[in-house]
A and B are shown apart, each in its own frame.
Chain A
Amino acid sequence: MVTTEASPDNAIRVQNPEALRGGHAETRLKRHLGRGVYVHDVHKLPNGNLEVSLGNAFPRDLSDCRDHDNVLKFITLRDVYTIEAEDTGQGVYLIDVPDRSEVIDGIDQREEEIREKLDFSMAQAIYKHVYDLPAVRTQLNPILQILRAARNRRGLTVSRTDDNQRSKNTREYVELLKNFGYIKVEDDEILPGERLQSADLNEYSWDEFGRKFLGDVVQRGYVTIRDKLNLSMLGHYQKYSGAYYFDAVQRGKQDLWLDIDTIADNFEELHGERKDRFYLQDKLGELASVDVIQKDGDFVRSEKHIYEQVARGTPTA
Chain B
Amino acid sequence: MTGVGYDQLQTIIESDDRSLPLCEFHQQYFEDIAQHTDNYTPEPGLDGFGRWKHVIIPFKINDNTVLYFDPYIQFFHELDTIDEDGAMNVPIKSFNEWWARPEKRWALWLEPSKQQTLSAAFGDE
- The chain A residues found within 8 Å of chain B, CB to CB, are 21-22, 26-27, 30, 35-38, 40, 55-57, 59, 61-62, 68, 70-76, 78, 316-317
Contacts and interface: CB of A to CB of B under 8 A. Distances in A.
Nearest to A59: B42
B53 A57 contact: no
B50 A26 contact: no
A123 B75 CA distance: 34
Contact of B50 (A27, A72, A76): A76
A71 B53 CA distance: 19
A72 B71 CA distance: 13
Q: How large is the interface on B (under 10, 10 to 19, 20 to 34, 35 or more residues)?
A: 20 to 34
Those 9 A-B pairs whose CB atoms lie nearest each other, nearest first: A57-B50, A76-B45, A76-B47, A317-B45, A73-B43, A38-B50, A74-B45, A74-B49, A317-B46
Given A30-B53, A35-B53, A74 B48 contact: yes
B93 interface: no
Contacts of B114: none
Interface of B: 30, 39, 41-53, 72, 75-78, 104
Interface centre among A21, A27, A40, A57 (most CB of B within 10 A): A57
22 contacts: A27-B104, A30-B51, A37-B50, A38-B47, A55-B47, A57-B45, A57-B50, A59-B52, A62-B43, A68-B78, A70-B39, A70-B77, A71-B43, A72-B42, A74-B30, A74-B43, A74-B44, A74-B48, A76-B46, A76-B48, A78-B46, A317-B46
A35 B52 contact: yes
Contacts of B44: 73-74
Given A30-B53, A38-B51, A72 B75 contact: yes
A40 B52 CA distance: 13
A72 B53 contact: no
Contacts of A317: 45-46
A78 B47 contact: yes
A317 B46 CA distance: 5
Contacts of A76: 45-48, 50
A106 B116 CA distance: 44
Contacts of B41: 71
A26 B51 contact: yes
A275 to B, nearest CB: 25
Given A38-B51, A55-B50, A75 B45 contact: yes
Nearest to B42: A72
B77 to A, nearest CB: 8
